[in-house]
Amino acid sequence: MGILWSYQIIIDSHRFTSFQAFRNVLRETGDLAGQREVVAENLQQQVLSGISLLSKTLREERKKALQEGQTLTQNLQAQYGALERAKRNYEKAYRDAEKAVENYQKADADLNLSRAEVEKQRHNMNMKCAQSDDAKNEYANQLQKLNRLQQVHFETALPDVFNRLQEIDEKRTKGIKEFVKGAADVEASVAPIIARCLEGIVKASESINEKEDTIKVIERYQSGFMPPNDVPFEDLSKMDTNSQHSSSTIGGSGLNIMTSKGTVTANKLKKRVGIFGIFGSNKNSLTPDGMKEDFSDLPPTQRRKKLAAKVQELTTKVQQEQAARDGLMKMKGVYEANSVLGDPMTVEKQLNESNHNLEKLKQELRKYQHLLEQATNQSILQQSPKSASRHNHAGQNGQRGSRHSNGSNNGNSSGEHHHHHHHHSNRDHDNGEDHPDDAGSLSRSGSETSVTKTQNGIESNNQPESNINGSSASPESGLGTSHTSLPGSGQGSANEQINDDNFYDPEPLQPLGTCRALYPFDASSEGSIPIKDGEELHVIELDQGDGWTRVRRMNEWTEGFVPTTYIEITLYADVEGVDHLYVNIESKAEQQ
């Protein structure tokens, strides 16, 4: 039950435009987050992976180019070293050859030396000259190699390395260009969707209507208590001659003092829903533990709303149970006509249980109808001549009024006066527990007394069952064709006029979704409507297990039941969310 109440609070809060706008903002924010995820995925696949691959390739190519350039430089340096060595050898051999020639010339000029000595010097000179020529040739060869290598190195090999490094850098720069453009393209691909999301957020903010929300808060928390009467002037000089009137006046004044914050009966309430509790915790007014079965702990207006909602809920349940019972009766008739299809006794137990549940629901419905009528009569009794004259006097002094009062400005004085006298006679018949003169005190004792009688079983003595037992909630009975009719309480046309004109005018059921007819249906039974193949309709009530779904035509208010198997249903998103969950939880709680 606590879960049901929590979800009911959530559903009630959905009515505020600020809540709806915030929910739409959250939805659009979720869409924005989804688009950011799409951007991240596309960047990962199209940009980051390409950057990683290109970076790896460029690193490898640059490494190879640098290694090749280093090899070319090392080869050139090695050739420089070989040339230096060849040059040094050539210089040494040249000096040795010059010295050998000089020694030979000296020995040849010296007549004291023998011919053998001279021949030895000549042989040494020839050898040194040959070595000098070889060193010279080696030097020339190494010099030629160096020049060729140097020419190739600086004109071909090294420029090729630099060109490759240049190409690598160009690839890197081009990659930056392409990847930046790719990232921008990824962002641009979702920009229209993001723009629509932002437009949706702006539209959601513009949908907030502060006046409408405050009116809904007033509608949700308006109490219906009447303001206290004016405090009368106490003339002390007339105390002796008019003591009885003074005592009654003092009593009335004391009552007004007691009711400065509500009513005498309101002091007994466990949970008072007032202006000081609106912005507090919901535990003070909305806990199911502190709410009575007849809602007598609520203010008059809220009590009438709760009772009307309860009557509507019970009426729907009666219709559903009646439809289920009719289905079982049909099944039993089919089994009796053809025993091959099944045993009729298997349906008998379910049929008895359905009849028992239906009777319980009807009794509970009559009880709440009686409570609703009493609550409405009590609100009419509060419009006493004394109170009316006070309000008329207040209107003449400046037309002071407030839409928060809910009960003092109905604008139907003649009808209220007629109903007031009618119910005054009824109240006199009930042992005189309440009188019109007491209506000005704003006491709810009469309502609580009637509730006590109702709980003791008196509520069923004057409730005819013609509107319940004499009809069926199945498609054949026709009850399902109108959800605005409320079974009467048996108090006559005057009471029915009260119920219809003063307090209870249920709104049409909101569509839960749409459906499309898969097959044509002729609607031979009462309460059902014909449909054509492919026709689009609104879904008003889902199938409750009896095989029938309540629908409404798109362009008119024609409603009725059609077989569930004949249509394809598509529920709205909010119905599949909180509201649908609430319905499922409520049905499970009722079964338990």
List, for residues 374-390, the tens digit of each pLDDT value: 888 877 766 544 444 44
Domain ranges of the chain: 17-209, 222-228+250-395+404-506, 508-592
What's the pLDDT score for residue 235?
84
The domain made up of 17-209 is a member of CATH 1.20.1270.60: yes
Q: What SS3 state is found at 539? A: strand
Do residues 296 and 265 touch, judged by C-beta distance below 8 A? no
Most confident of 373-382, 388-397, 457-466, 550-559: 550-559
For the cut 50, the answer to whether the pLDDT of residue 394 exceeds it is no
For the cut 90, the answer to whether the pLDDT of residue 184 exceeds it is yes
Which residues, in sequence order, are CB contacts of 367 under 8 Å at separation 6+? Answer: 454, 459, 460
User: How far apart, in Å, are the Cα atoms of 268 and each of 117, 227, 262, 265?
Assistant: 155, 18, 11, 6
What's the pLDDT score for residue 244?
52
Which pLDDT band, with edges at 50, 70 and 90, does 65 fall under?
very high
What's the pLDDT score for residue 112?
80
pLDDT in tens, 464-496: 333 333 333 344 333 333 333 333 333 333 343
Number of Cα atoms under 13 Å in the Cβ half of residue 53:
9
Query: What's the CA gap between 263 and 270, in Å, rounded?
Result: 14
**Which token pair is 122?**
């000549």
What's the pLDDT score for residue 269?
37
Which H/E stretch holds residue 78? helix 49-109
Which residues, in sequence order, are CB contacts of 191 under 8 Å at separation 6+? Answer: none
Question: Which of the following CATH numbers is that of domain 508-592: 2.30.30.40, 1.20.1440.230, 3.40.50.10800, 1.10.760.10?
Answer: 2.30.30.40
For the cut 70, the answer to whether the pLDDT of residue 427 exceeds it is no
Query: What's the CA gap between 258 and 266, in Å, rounded?
Result: 10
User: How far apart, in Å, are the Cα atoms of 15 and each of 2, 212, 304, 453, 540?
Assistant: 21, 10, 20, 36, 19
Query: What's the CA gap between 1 and 286, in Å, rounded?
Result: 12
Regarding predicted confidence, which is higher, 267 or 194? 194
Q: What SS3 state is found at 443? A: coil
**Which token pair is 572?**
């709205």
What's the pLDDT score for residue 383?
56
CATH topology identical between 17-209 and 508-592: no
What's the pLDDT score for residue 495?
40
Out of 109-118, 362-371, 448-457, least confident range: 448-457
What's the pLDDT score for residue 14?
63
**Which token pair is 488?**
């009467």
For the cut 50, the answer to whether the pLDDT of residue 524 exceeds it is yes
- φ/ψ of 507, rounded to 5, equals -75, 155
Torsion angle of alpha carbons 9, 10, 15, 21, nearest 10°?
150
Do residues 405 and 334 touch, judged by C-beta distance below 8 A? no
The mean predicted confidence, pLDDT, of the chain is: 72
Which pLDDT band, with edges at 50, 70 and 90, does 251 fall under?
very low
What's the pLDDT score for residue 305?
86
For the cut 70, the answer to whether the pLDDT of residue 242 exceeds it is no
Which residues, in sequence order, are CB contacts of 351 under 8 Å at separation 6+? Answer: 325, 328, 329, 332
